[in-house]
Amino acid sequence: MRSITLILALSCLLLAAAPLAAQNTIFVDPVNGSDVTGDGSASNPYQSLTHALSTNPLPGTTVELRSGPYNSTHETFPITLRDRISIRPGTGQFPVFDGDNADAVIQVDTDITQALTVSFFQIVDCKVGLRVNAGQRVAGLTVSDTLFENFTQAGVQMALNTGQNTVTVRNCDFVGNGADFGVFLSAEGSSGAALFAGAVEDCSILDCDTGIQLAASGGADVGDDFSLRRNNIEGHTLAGITLSAQPGVGNGSFNSALVQGNQIKGDGATATPEIGLQIAAQFLFGSAQTAQVDARILYNAVFNNHTNVFLSTSNQVGGGEVNITSAFTGNTITGASSSGIVFAVSNPAALRPNASPNFGDLAVAPSGSSGRNTIQGNGTFEMVLDGDMQNVIKAENNFWNQNSSVAILNRIQTNGALPPSVIGFLSSSANVSTSPQEIPERTATAVNVRAPSGFRFVDNPDDDSAIGQLLALVGQALVEAFVFDNGSGLQFTSPMLAEGDHDITIVNPGGQTAAGTLRVVASGGGGGSGSGMCVVASAAHGGYDAPEVRVLRRLRDDYLLMTPAGRAFTRSYYAHGPALAGFIAERPLARAATRAALAPPVAVARALLAWNAGQRFAAGVALLGLVLFLVRRRR
């Protein structure tokens, strides 16, 4: 009896506690809810997010918001996020946070120890939309699918000076109307502090002085697992993206972010001195520590700015190294009203090179993996150097839209510095060949395309990006191409094609074009590599569709491939045909001689194809008799 009583008592306690553990969602309705009589349930929601968070919800709780205005009438700004409490709108709901010019609408003022998501908001009329105050460690904050509008300082602003931080801003729109920053992220203030991982990605940032500022200072770092990707930035008056590093007194700072697939578009007006991408490494007075920006700059489109790319260093006597060592690959840097790439550097400490970005270095393995930037069509100069530079800039393996090193260097202002290395400059167009040279009709086939010397393919490997993508067409069909790491070739799977010659057109993101032909043969005519007699005849007669070539194709398909001996002959011919065809195609006399040599087989083939079955049988018997007669005579 005592056991039964104990079990019943425990059951009652569990039932009493169950609602507290089970209520993982709190509801807020600014129009129909109440902070006085509401209990946060779906049927009796609170009126304000401020009040909902003040009820000390359990970790793992989600606060679900309904449509309506969240303003200073019922909210207390800034609203402070709590660790492990996610905030989101309900299905089909559109909450609008009107800050009424508050310093910040939402802030983080405590450590975030696990993933926390803020999503699908509209935040308007404030100085800062979402702010992380200094002193907090943020282990996993995601801000997504949110519209920030009419802010004056920053849409998102974070000062990260404690521990390893992971922050993601994704698929957000920022409309600043002259605000200082769209997104300002700063790893700052102490050794060991870092913006370790995360991203600003898939965002649109309009009409801010600076679109994105990413800074490492005071001994803190931005790690190489943090990225700026697939953002569209326009309407900036200072810079689209700024990357910077400044050391602390006792520790250096490194900015190693990945910057990939962004579009940074200026207004094209000479009166607005905006910069597309700005990279700055700066000294700290009294510090002998290193400041270094070694960010990877990949497949971005930076165009129509006053200056598209601006690289600056500042140094002092006795100061530490101040370096820009960023690698640029596959970027399109065009249409600047002033200059494409500009250096503004100070005389480096102890004659150390302090501005040595890699715009393309053919000595880096694999050969050609760096560079492949399009640097052309910029106003006064493609590149402007600074007289204080102590090193040679590597700008090899790039597209300059010029046909000689002299012409390229004429578009570069050195100001007394050593001229850059521009060897291995690339052509704006090329003719390409395929392997295999022929494929069977109506069969999806893997095709390799090899870039000739002096040309390279460029393609952003981030398939989610619309920027930096190569375009490949076979006939009128768009195909997906895989580009080799160094751009020396690509592979695609052919669509189902009819017999004949099909144009291949490949366009780099910088506008360079490669063209070629893919030959498709009748299904019975493959027999192996798809080369051989038809290739030789095509070279001699000037085309795959020449009448003589069509006759020989039918002879091959209808006769040679029908017998073991004929197939053996065809395979042997295939093994040597492509090389022979290449020799013939380049020599008029060889083409004429080959046409003459092929005339008898073509005549025989025409006769055979024109005869009926009885005539072919009679010809075969006569041929057999002739062979036997010749054999007997030799005996």
Mean pLDDT of 38-57: 97
Domain count, the chain: 4
- The answer to which of 269-273, 385-389, 453-457, 493-497 has the lowest mean pLDDT is 269-273
Token code pair at residue 501: 């010659």
Half-sphere exposure of 373 (CA within 13 A, CB side): 31
Among 38, 92, 82, CA closest to 60: 82
Could you tell me if 176 and 306 lie in one domain?
A: yes
Token code pair at residue 613: 């079955």
Report the distance separating Cα 210 and Cα 183, nearest Å: 8
The mean of the pLDDT values for the chain is: 87
Could you tell me if 512 and 589 lie in one domain?
A: no
Could you tell me if 216 and 82 lie in one domain?
A: no
Could you tell me if 327 and 186 lie in one domain?
A: yes
Mean pLDDT of 462-477: 95
Report the distance separating Cα 219 and Cα 495, nearest Å: 55
Report the distance separating Cα 129 and Cα 103, nearest Å: 8
Among 241, 411, 391, CA closest to 331: 241
Could you tell me if 242 and 265 lie in one domain?
A: yes
pLDDT given at position 292:
95
Report the distance separating Cα 438 and Cα 578, nearest Å: 11
Asked if the structure places residue 529 within a domain, the reply is no
Residue 39 sits in a domain whose CATH number is 3.30.1910
pLDDT, one tens digit per residue, over 109-142 is: 999 988 888 999 999 999 999 999 998 999 999 9
pLDDT band at 527 (very low <50, low <70, confident <90, very high): very low
Could you tell me if 466 and 602 lie in one domain?
A: no
Q: Which of the pair, 407 or 390, is modelled with greater confidence?
A: 407
Residue 461 sits in a domain whose CATH number is 2.60.40.10
E strands, 423-512, are 429-431, 433-435, 438-440, 446-450, 471-474, 477-479, 481-483, 489-493, 500-507
Asked if the structure places residue 539 within a domain, the reply is yes
Query: Cα 164 to chain center, whole Å?
Result: 27
Asked if the structure places residue 281 within a domain, the reply is yes
Asked if the structure places residue 414 within a domain, the reply is no
Could you tell me if 443 and 320 lie in one domain?
A: no
Q: Are 31 and 65 in contact (CB under 8 A)?
A: no
Mean pLDDT of 545-564: 74
Evaluate if residue 363 carries a pLDDT over 90: no
pLDDT given at position 19:
40
pLDDT band at 351 (very low <50, low <70, confident <90, very high): low
Report the distance separating Cα 230 and Cα 203, nearest Å: 7
Asked if the structure places residue 441 within a domain, the reply is yes
Tokens 């073509």, residue?
Answer: 602
Asked if the structure places residue 2 within a domain, the reply is no
Q: In what order do the strands lie in the sheet with 489-493?
A: 433-435, 446-450, 489-493, 481-483
Of the chain, the percentage scoring pLDDT greater than 90 comes to: 64
Evaluate if residue 484 carries a pLDDT over 50: yes
pLDDT given at position 269:
78
With 0.75 as the threshold, say if the pTM is over it: yes
Token code pair at residue 335: 């249409």
Could you tell me if 386 and 297 lie in one domain?
A: yes
pLDDT, one tens digit per residue, over 429-439 is: 999 999 998 99
Q: What are phi and psi of 474, to 5 degrees?
A: -115, 110
Mean pLDDT of 95-102: 97
Among 468, 486, 521, where does a domain finish?
521
pLDDT band at 544 (very low <50, low <70, confident <90, very high): low
Asked if the structure places residue 634 within a domain, the reply is no
CB atoms within 10 A of CB 86: 18
Among 521, 550, 575, where does a domain finish?
521
Could you tell me if 348 and 382 lie in one domain?
A: yes
Among 55, 79, 100, where does a domain finish?
100
Q: CA dihedral defined by 36, 37, 42, 46, rounded to 10 degrees?
A: -10
Asked if the structure places residue 123 within a domain, the reply is yes
Token code pair at residue 216: 């490492």
Report the distance separating Cα 76 and Cα 380, nearest Å: 53
pLDDT given at position 188:
92
pLDDT given at position 556:
73
User: Which domain range does residue 608 map to?
Assistant: 535-622
Mean pLDDT of 379-389: 94
